[in-house]
């Protein structure tokens, strides 16, 4: 910024001091596996956090699958994994009744997310000891073909009314 003072010019330069770079955190997911009926039964109410409208990442989970949360990984600004996060978060969801997902927080920074079979979106929130959060939207989507069934149209009358 420059201010004209007549014979003098005052120049002001503002510079932000270097802040320590904190790595980003991302959920580290395990292998996708098939659910069994017991995986789809939530203990209601599930650990709850209201929907914030802010989502850091989005993932799709087939309606008949589950994934293990292996914890969180710190990544650099290009998304390369630096290593496991030292912080152990707690996991909560906005799907308190378990309509779309069943969330299990193991209490050690790991957990499991299982789709219930209903298509929709649930928000998964990882809350760290310092109060910061990482939010992932989980879209439950159609799974792989498992069977074939007949699809019928509406019934039609074949004999005239008397």
Give the C-alpha separation, 147 to 76, whole Å: 44
- Cα separation, 142 vs 116, whole angstroms: 11
- In the chain, the domains with their CATH numbers are 24-141 (2.60.40.1080)
Question: What pTM was computed for the model?
Answer: 0.71
Q: Per residue in 24-51, pLDDT tens?
A: 777 788 888 999 999 989 888 889 988 8
Q: DSSP label at 23?
A: P
Q: Is the pLDDT of residue 113 over 90?
A: yes
SS3 40: helix
Contact of 52 with 59, CB cutoff 8 Å: no
């Amino acid at each position: 910024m420059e201010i004209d003072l007549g014979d003098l010019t005052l120049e002001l330069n503002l510079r932000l001091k270097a802040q320590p770079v904190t790595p980003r955190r991302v959920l580290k997911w395990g292998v996708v596996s098939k659910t069994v009926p017991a995986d789809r039964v939530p203990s209601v109410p599930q650990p709850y956090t209201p929907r914030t409208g802010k989502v850091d990442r989005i993932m799709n989970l087939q309606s008949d699958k589950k994934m293990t949360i292996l914890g969180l990984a710190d990544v650099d600004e290009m998304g390369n994994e630096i290593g496991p996060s030292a912080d152990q978060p707690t996991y909560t969801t906005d799907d308190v009744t378990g309509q779309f997902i069943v969330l299990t927080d193991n209490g050690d920074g790991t957990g499991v997310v299982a789709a219930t079979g209903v298509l929709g979106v649930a928000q998964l929130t990882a809350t760290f000891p310092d109060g910061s959060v990482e939010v992932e939207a989980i879209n439950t989507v159609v799974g792989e073909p498992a069977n074939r069934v007949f699809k019928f149209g509406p019934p039609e009358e074949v004999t005239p009314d008397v």
